[in-house]
Structure 1
Amino acid sequence: MSCSLTSAGVDYGQRRSLLHVPDFLEKRLHAFDEAVKFSRTGKPVVVGNKPGQGSIILQSNDYLNVSMHPDISLAQIARLQNTEKELVMSAVFLHEGSDKELFENSMADFTGFESSILCQSGWSANIGLMQAIADQNTPVYIDFFTHMSLWEGIKSSGAPFYSFMHNDVEHLERLVKQHGKGIILVDSLYSTTGDFAPLVDIIDIATRYDCVSVVDESHSLGTHGDHGSGLVASLGLTGRVHFITASLAKAFAGRAGIIFCSKRFSQYFPFIAYPAIFSSTLLPHEIAGLAATLKVIIDGDERRKQLHAHAEYLREGLRGLGYSIASESQIIGLEPGEESNMEILRDALEDRNVYGSVFCAPATPKNRSLMRFSLHSSLEKDDLERVLAVCESIRDDVGMWNWKSTRRKKG
């Protein structure tokens, strides 16, 4: 017997299509149509073809290729098998000695901080942090390319903000002199361009003008520094930075975020930050997986060595082909600029079984879209050579010589 999803004789699909949409929502939907660029397939430009067998996929943030590591899977399975019931609740109700607290202590030791706070995501970490430390009387200084979650955190806090030109420490200092001490927000490694922040100079300014410093290490924690402890630690800045935040959905290949901070702040945050109060905390088997991942990360020096070697080889190869590359890391961006140019580039790469990630507005400034290649440690030399061969063969087809980024490089 077949079952039809109907009510009062009206098919649900039909009923939804007949539902009236008020004009204010219709305006929002129309704005979406205008804002999101659609390709010839009718899909958003960021959604290309599905990779097939033998494709080179440079889209994942799993930089050290640990997501399917057996130690991590076994740790999660063991925790599930040995837990009678997982309590689903806010972290404010957890007692001392919880799995969460033990993992937070391990992560703090890993980076050299007094404490850390495990969050549901990098997004909730940054939103919650800004809500907790800023208000309408606190000026916030933010690099133009810093993660969107920190921009949204500023909105949540109601703080006045002043953006400074990317990695321009002189512009930052002028703004701080003009508007007074406040909070400085930067990424250590920028997720679009793949370049590093001049952290030493930025932290010098923060110290000189009595500002709070926040460094998002989402794309450098696990991949850079001693045993993957991050760029702040590698530069000897740990004792001078107030907060580090990170998504653990990058090198840690999990689904969580973290804030590194003082012990005093870690006791304050869970009871003031809305994402901590009003969302359920991670479950014990998820934390067990992250704890196992930390061990894999610490022991992953060979993975990091391979990752950095791959990145240097591909960066220099692309520069040799005439591409304008700002990257200093495992994140490598090609910048065709206009969305129409991006679609041509995406299709040319995918037709040759090379898949990167499309970034366009609002992830990048309008008309500065880019194709991001995210490298991982398990790529083979043949894979990299194939990517370079493809990028060489398509230069004329995609109009690379006429891209604004190419002309800037020549200039």
Structure 2
Amino acid sequence: MQVTNNNWRDAHNNDAALPAFLAARVDRYYGERVQQSWGGGHIMRGRVPDANALHLSSNDYLSIARHPEILDAMCSTIRADGNGLLMSGIFLHDDECPQLQLEERFARFMGAEASVLCQSGFAANTGLIQAIANEQTPVYIDMMAHMSLWEGIRSAGAKPISYMHNDAEHLEQRIQRYGPGIVIVDSVYSTNGSVCPLQAFAQVCEKHDCVFVVDESHSLGTHGPHGAGLVAELGLGDRVHFRTASLAKAFAGRAGIISCSRRFQEYFKFEALPAIFSSTLLPHETAGLAATLDVIERDDWRRARLASNALYVRSRLTALGYNLNGSETQIVALEAGPEAQTIVLRDALEAHGIFASVFCAPATAQNRSLMRMSINAMLSEAQLERIVNVCEAIRDEVQLSNWPSTRRLLERGAGRVRTRQAPALLDLPVAA
């Protein structure tokens, strides 16, 4: 049943037969979130985009989701192999198996000894943490790390020990208190686009004999030599024990990857519950990812154009007074704060044809909700100017000066409008 603003009450009434403990939980959602936080509306449901809308909600950073080479590989495979053999990956052992061959190729691409393909980035993260932690393991996690990593800690029965965002000194203090364990970071944080100082964290891990796990979901494909990621760019492959990534971002597919040692690869496949109790990737998904890897390794111009576009938008919005919370990447977040204020921001952007992604609790902390704009490689100069012009035009309407993030910026003494010229857009060819 599709639930709209007009029939939520009726949908809720259909739950009358639920036991009281569950009915009360559903009541809290409708009362506390829908009515109180969202004023009877819905934070995720704004306007329906029209043909002129500019979509900034897709994680297809390199603009390859419709690439003909990838689509041809997928179409020919699905015609030849259908959906293949539907079974758990633990049964795969033939050296000619396309999925196992793709694991070998991803390992070479990432500069690792081996890799494991999973059904999603969520499955990769939950499976990995469940396979390396237990009730006695301290697991140190950045307070802004992706929810799948937190869920992995929970499923392992381990205790999460959070540390301040990107603060290696605070991490070391925590390790000195609780002892060696597992350290988890995102290379690029999906909420605000900030970048982890990986070298400093690697030093702390080595000093205290900790396992180092880096989620590269938002840097694999977009950063590093031929897209191999930030760990590879910084030469940290031998100092990071595990890298994970969702292949639903720059790779525009549906899978997850873990880089690891050859010995751990075997262990993971027979110990991690998501690996044991999930089916393999479908043949056309494997073929599509193989073709995607061809494109990503070859098209360095896409990464250069993405970086140029993102730098331009960040620079211009910073000059307009927006606090981008340290973004250095293609993820540009406008943090309005309370959910009601983010609805105002959403409506203002969408009224001008700009459609971004709403992030709110539990994806963010309470009262730190935001609109996330995902910049991509194929945005034209006119489209980039449109983004900037809209953000300039709506500042008073959305009360930018009253946002908590703006006040934090002013308190740091960095709230003055900058007068330096924005960087020029990179002049690169537009190709399929």
TM-score, normalised relative to structure 1:
0.94
What residue is the counterpart of 2:342 in the other structure? 342
Matched, 1:196 2:215: no
- Code of the residue aligned with 1:262 in structure 2: it is S
How many Å separate the matches in 2 of 1:85 and 1:62? 25
What residue is the counterpart of 1:365 in the other structure? 365
What is the deviation of 1:123?
0.3
How many Å separate the matches in 2 of 1:189 and 1:340? 27
What residue is the counterpart of 1:300 in the other structure? 299
What residue is the counterpart of 1:394 in the other structure? 394
For the 8 Å contact 1:331–1:372, the answer to whether it is kept is yes
What residue is the counterpart of 1:6 in the other structure? none
- Code of the residue aligned with 2:74 in structure 1: it is Q
Identical-residue share of aligned pairs (%): 53
Matched, 1:111 2:110: yes
For the 8 Å contact 1:140–1:183, the answer to whether it is kept is yes
How many Å separate the matches in 2 of 1:85 and 1:252? 21
What residue is the counterpart of 1:133 in the other structure? 132
Write out aligned runs for 1:162-311 (5 A): 162-311=161-310
How many Å separate the matches in 2 of 1:383 and 1:58? 11
Matched, 1:63 2:61: yes
What residue is the counterpart of 1:73 in the other structure? 71
Q: Which runs of 5+ in 2 are unaligned?
A: 1-9, 412-432
What is the deviation of 1:96?
2.7
How many Å separate the matches in 1 of 2:253 and 2:370? 26
- Code of the residue aligned with 1:26 in structure 2: it is A
Deviation per residue, 1:261-303 (Å, 9 max, x gap)? 0000001111111111111110111100000000011012111
How many Å separate the matches in 1 of 2:14 and 2:163? 47
What residue is the counterpart of 2:30 in the other structure? 33
- Structure 1 residues 84, 341: CA separation in 2 closer, same or farther (over 3 Å shift)? closer
- Code of the residue aligned with 1:228 in structure 2: it is G
What residue is the counterpart of 2:123 in the other structure? 124
How many Å separate the matches in 2 of 1:18 and 1:144? 35
How many Å separate the matches in 1 of 2:257 and 2:145? 17
What is the deviation of 1:82?
2.4
Name the SS of the counterpart of 2:293 in structure 1: helix
- Structure 1 residues 364, 18: CA separation in 2 closer, same or farther (over 3 Å shift)? closer
- Structure 1 residues 17, 191: CA separation in 2 closer, same or farther (over 3 Å shift)? closer
Deviation per residue, 1:200-242 (Å, 9 max, x gap)? 0001100110000000000000000000000000000001100
How many Å separate the matches in 2 of 1:142 and 1:380? 38
What residue is the counterpart of 1:380 in the other structure? 380
- Code of the residue aligned with 1:22 in structure 2: it is P
- Code of the residue aligned with 1:367 in structure 2: it is N
Q: Which runs of 5+ in 1 are unaligned?
A: 1-12
For the 8 Å contact 1:59–1:356, the answer to whether it is kept is yes
- Structure 1 residues 20, 167: CA separation in 2 closer, same or farther (over 3 Å shift)? same
What residue is the counterpart of 1:10 in the other structure? none
- Code of the residue aligned with 2:220 in structure 1: it is L
What residue is the counterpart of 1:333 in the other structure? 333
How many Å separate the matches in 1 of 2:229 and 2:216? 7
Deviation per residue, 1:374-400 (Å, 9 max, x gap)? 011000011111111111111111100
Deviation per residue, 1:19-38 (Å, 9 max, x gap)? 62210110121232245446
- Code of the residue aligned with 2:154 in structure 1: it is K
For the 8 Å contact 1:337–1:403, the answer to whether it is kept is yes
For the 8 Å contact 1:37–1:339, the answer to whether it is kept is no
What residue is the counterpart of 1:4 in the other structure? none
- Code of the residue aligned with 2:86 in structure 1: it is V
Name the SS of the counterpart of 2:238 in structure 1: helix
How many Å separate the matches in 2 of 1:111 and 1:18? 49
How many Å separate the matches in 1 of 2:156 and 2:394? 46
Deviation per residue, 1:342-369 (Å, 9 max, x gap)? 0111101100101111111111000011
What residue is the counterpart of 2:147 in the other structure? 148
Deviation per residue, 1:162-217 (Å, 9 max, x gap)? 10010111110000011110000000000011010010000110011000000000
For the 8 Å contact 2:38–2:340, the answer to whether it is kept is no
Which of 84, 90, 93 does residue 86 from structure 1 map onto? Answer: 84
How many Å separate the matches in 2 of 1:55 and 1:41? 26
- Structure 1 residues 396, 74: CA separation in 2 closer, same or farther (over 3 Å shift)? same
For the 8 Å contact 2:112–2:261, the answer to whether it is kept is yes
- Structure 1 residues 126, 34: CA separation in 2 closer, same or farther (over 3 Å shift)? farther
**Residues 248-257 or 317-326, more deviating:** 317-326
TM-score, normalised relative to structure 2:
0.89
- Structure 1 residues 41, 367: CA separation in 2 closer, same or farther (over 3 Å shift)? closer
Write out aligned runs for 1:94-109 (5 A): 94-97=92-95, 98-109=97-108
- Structure 1 residues 278, 393: CA separation in 2 closer, same or farther (over 3 Å shift)? same
For the 8 Å contact 2:150–2:160, the answer to whether it is kept is no
Name the SS of the counterpart of 1:215 in structure 2: strand
What is the deviation of 1:18?
8.5
How many Å separate the matches in 1 of 2:18 and 2:199? 53
For the 8 Å contact 1:186–1:215, the answer to whether it is kept is yes
How many Å separate the matches in 2 of 1:52 and 1:116? 42
- Structure 1 residues 191, 34: CA separation in 2 closer, same or farther (over 3 Å shift)? farther
- Structure 1 residues 185, 37: CA separation in 2 closer, same or farther (over 3 Å shift)? farther
How many Å separate the matches in 1 of 2:54 and 2:83? 41
